Amino acid sequence: MCAAVFALNVIGAEDPAGRSPLDGTWLWNFTMPDGGRVTPRVKFRTKDGELTGTSRFRPGAEAPLTNIVFKNGRVSFDVVRDYLGEPVATHYDGTLNGATIKGKITSSANGEKQTYDWDAKRVSTVEGVWKWSITFGERTFDSRVTLKLEGEKLTGKLAGGRSESDIHRGRFRDNRVRFEVERRGSDGERTTNVYRGKLDGDKITGTYTSHFGGYRTNDWNAVRAD
């Protein structure tokens, strides 16, 4: 399905910054008929004064939200996905309460109407998997880091190329992220790379200081990958 985000009509109030209380990523758990568990997600974003969104049931399978209505703390929308070559419509209806949306999911899969509980939680922490690309000259390197948070302390691993390294001196405070990664060059010399950024929804924006091939500072733009 197309992963593009479409502009949709919305009824509801926005804050002075032009954002909706729904803006961000929402996750919940779902048990499949075979007993397997998946973690679907919905991402809302206010764009040009209108609420837009995408839904992902499984990684790599995003679909746009349609018919979004948000009024008096109640949200509803539809998602159409392909199932065995046939379009299947799913309707979501719930009530926003802080960082939780609770309601019902109604699906018409297999020609039968089925209803499930919907209990979604807002993802507002830096925990999870983040990815980004950095270009040196004509070469582009893809990296990702898995972060875990205990209080203000960040731990995790950074993967780039064929190597994986622990992060050190990680901290998350006031939506600001900082951690260091030690690297060993081909000559055995150790260098320390420093990442600093600010969390904003599903993005971390900041700088990356590298000592690879000389001291340099680059823009660091990470996006959530989980």
User: Residue 108 is part of which domain span?
Assistant: 24-123
Comparing CA positions, the residue from 226, 221, 155, 214 lying closest to residue 185 is 214
Q: Are residues 88 and 136 in the same domain?
A: no
Query: d(Cα 198, Cα 206) in Å, to the nearest integer?
Result: 6
pLDDT of residue 18: 64
Q: Are residues 119 and 157 in the same domain?
A: no
Averaged over 128-153, what is the pLDDT? 85
- Residue at 174: amino acid letter: D
Over the chain, what is the mean pLDDT? Answer: 82
77 against 137, higher pLDDT:
77
Answer whether residue 201 is part of any domain: yes
pLDDT of residue 9: 34
Q: Are residues 113 and 140 in the same domain?
A: no
pLDDT of residue 32: 75
Query: d(Cα 92, Cα 26) in Å, to the nearest integer?
Result: 13
Query: d(Cα 4, Cα 91) in Å, to the nearest integer?
Result: 19
Neighbour count for residue 197 (Cβ, 10 Å)? 23
Phi, psi of 98 (to 5 degrees): 65, -115
Q: Are residues 157 and 203 in the same domain?
A: yes
Q: Are residues 159 and 207 in the same domain?
A: yes
Q: Are residues 141 and 101 in the same domain?
A: no
Q: How many domains does the chain have?
A: 2
Query: d(Cα 126, Cα 167) in Å, to the nearest integer?
Result: 14
Answer whether residue 180 is part of any domain: yes
pLDDT of residue 188: 64
Q: Are residues 98 and 163 in the same domain?
A: no
Residues with Cβ < 8 Å from 95, sequence gap 6 or more?
A: 73, 74, 75, 101, 102, 103
122 pLDDT band, cuts 50/70/90, is confident
pLDDT of residue 16: 39
Rg of the chain over Cα atoms, rounded to whole angstroms, equals 20
Q: Are residues 117 and 135 in the same domain?
A: no
Averaged over 86-106, what is the pLDDT? 93
Q: pLDDT tens, 174-205? A: 889 999 998 776 666 778 889 999 988 778 99
Query: Does 81 have pLDDT greater than 50?
Result: yes
* Contact assessment for residue 1 and residue 86, using Cβ atoms and an 8 Å cutoff: no
Query: d(Cα 70, Cα 105) in Å, to the nearest integer?
Result: 16
Query: Does 130 have pLDDT greater than 90?
Result: yes
Q: pLDDT tens, 151-166? A: 789 999 999 767 789 9
213 pLDDT band, cuts 50/70/90, is low
Query: Does 6 have pLDDT greater than 60?
Result: no
Q: Are residues 36 and 107 in the same domain?
A: yes
Point out the domain boundary residue: 123, 150, 168.
123
Answer whether residue 52 is part of any domain: yes
Q: Are residues 139 and 209 in the same domain?
A: yes
CATH number at residue 181: 2.40.128
Query: Does 8 have pLDDT greater than 60?
Result: no
Point out the domain boundary residue: 123, 156, 186.
123
Tokens (6 digits) for 179:
């951690």
Answer whether residue 7 is part of any domain: no
Neighbour count for residue 180 (Cβ, 10 Å)? 17
